[in-house]
Structure 1
């Protein structure tokens, strides 16, 4: 599969998916569902600085994320995303990512517990594309 086709498929999935984010907690995998925002293959997600994941990221900044898979079965494309996480507390970034759904957890983008996880890709693989072998996107 051509890299341009792989990138287009990956970006389509990254732009239209929630997914699972795995970290390491006491030397074991720990996963949760998260909503991600894509900016040129870099992912962002909102969280509270009082969650387990912030402590886990402080101890090990790498994450594995699964995005895509529509539930239709064999042939549903998805992305395996290995990334390095940086915790951001930048006010302009928090305002850019803010939406009304976050009001369930935070008192606005100024909430002192509201932080953003910035995830820089280390490896991105397009999986289960109907009729195609898995493909790694060249970064």
Structure 2
């Protein structure tokens, strides 16, 4: 069963790149849409070190992310992803994640404000499979 759940989750993470990421700001939830890249259930997202989210994850490194809901209604699968965030300045990782659309925000992967948030999963739930109970991937 776990292999099937993992395969479904990996497919959703591979196919869905944009979703809300929640952090904590002034002891309250704060969400924003982010673009995610994934590898082996770990998520990555590019941001600027000058953003509020950077300050927020430095104070509290835990996040909650939703990915996969397509808006079709009942039965539309999605993933609830709880993770722990680490800020990375890895040149290799920044080059690996760089896409041309990022030129709107950064001068290039070497831009000193460009950082990567690495999100290690704590718990991943597969939700809303046509009325079935959520499935939790054991990590």
Contact 2:22 2:64 in 1 (8 A): yes
In 2, the alpha carbon distance for the partners of 1:113 and 1:7 equals 34
**What does 1:80-91 correspond to in 2, within 5 Å?**
80-91=80-91
In 2, the alpha carbon distance for the partners of 1:132 and 1:100 equals 40
- The answer for unaligned runs of 5 or more in structure 2 is none
Q: Give the CA RMSD over aligned residues.
A: 0.7
Runs of 4+ displaced beyond 3 Å: none
TM-score (norm 1): 0.97
SS across alignment from 1:22: strand
Instruction: Count residues in correspondence.
Output: 138
**What does 1:1-139 correspond to in 2, within 5 Å?**
2-17=1-16, 18-139=18-139
CA apart distance, 1:100 = 0.6
- The answer for unaligned runs of 5 or more in structure 1 is none
TM-score (norm 2): 0.97
